[in-house]
Structure 1
Amino acid sequence: MNQNDGDGDGGGAVARSSAGRRDRARHPFDAVLTDLDGVIRFYDMADLTELERAAGLPGGATAAIAFAPETDLPLMLGRIGRTEWIESIAAGLTREHGLTPAHGRELGDALADSKFRADQTVVGLLRRARTHIPVSIVTNATPWLDEDLALLGLDRVVDDVVSSAVLGVVKPDPRIYETAAARVGADITRCLFVDDREENVAAAVALGMTGLRYREPDDLRSALGTLLD
Structure 2
Amino acid sequence: MLEAVLFDMGGVIVSGPWEGFAVYERANGLPEGLIRRINSTDADSNAWARMERGEIGLEEFAAAFEAEAVALGYRVDGLAVLDGLGGELRPAVSEAVRRCSERLKTGLLTNNYAPMASSERSAEMVEVMGWFDVVVESSVVGVRKPDPAFYTMACEALGVEPLGCVFLDDLGVNLKPARAMGMTTIKVVDPDEALAELEAAVGFPLRG
Q: TM range, normalised to the smaller chain?
A: 0.7 to 0.9
1:33 aligns with 2:10: no
The runs of 5 or more residues in structure 1 that have no matched partner are: 1-27
Q: Deviations over 1:26-82 (max 9, x none)?
A: xx52111111222122244264134322xxx22333443356421211112110122
The worse-fitting range, judged by mean Cα deviation, of 128-137 and 61-70 is 61-70
Query: Which residue of 90, 93, 99 maps to 2:69?
Result: 93
What is the CA-CA distance between 1:179 and the residue it aligns to? 1.2
> Once the two structures are aligned, what percentage of the paired residues are identical?
26
Task: Output the amino acid matched with 2:83.
Answer: D
Task: Kindly name which structure, 1 or 2, has the bigger radius of gyration based on alpha carbons.
Answer: 1
TM-score, scaled relative to structure 1: 0.73
In structure 2, the partner of 1:19 is none
Runs of 4+ residues over 6 Å off in structure 1: none
Change (3 A) 1:71 1:148: farther
Query: Which residue of 63, 73, 78 maps to 2:54?
Result: 78
Task: Output the amino acid matched with 1:221.
Answer: A
Matching of residues 1-229 of structure 1 within 5 Å:
28-42=1-15, 43=17, 44-45=19-20, 47-53=23-29, 57-66=30-39, 68=41, 69=43, 70-97=46-73, 99=75, 104-105=76-77, 108-114=78-84, 115-146=86-117, 150-151=121-122, 152-153=125-126, 154-217=128-191, 218-224=193-199, 225-228=202-205
- CA RMSD, aligned part only? 2.5
Q: Secondary structure at the match of 1:131?
A: helix
Change (3 A) 1:129 1:87: same
CA distance in 1, matches of 2:39, 2:147: 21
CA distance in 2, matches of 1:131, 1:146: 24
**Aligned residues of 2:48 and 2:65 also touching (Cα < 8 A):** no
CA distance in 2, matches of 1:187, 1:95: 43
The alignment of Structure 1 onto Structure 2 pairs a total of residues equal to 193
**Aligned residues of 1:143 and 1:165 also touching (Cα < 8 A):** yes
Structure ranking higher in helix proportion: 1
What is the CA-CA distance between 1:164 and the residue it aligns to? 1.8
CA distance in 1, matches of 2:119, 2:51: 15
CA distance in 1, matches of 2:93, 2:73: 38
The runs of 5 or more residues in structure 2 that have no matched partner are: none
Change (3 A) 1:47 1:211: closer
**Aligned residues of 1:195 and 1:212 also touching (Cα < 8 A):** yes
Task: Output the amino acid matched with 1:185.
Answer: G
What is the CA-CA distance between 1:205 and the residue it aligns to? 2.0
What is the CA-CA distance between 1:184 and the residue it aligns to? 1.5
Q: Secondary structure at the match of 1:41?
A: coil
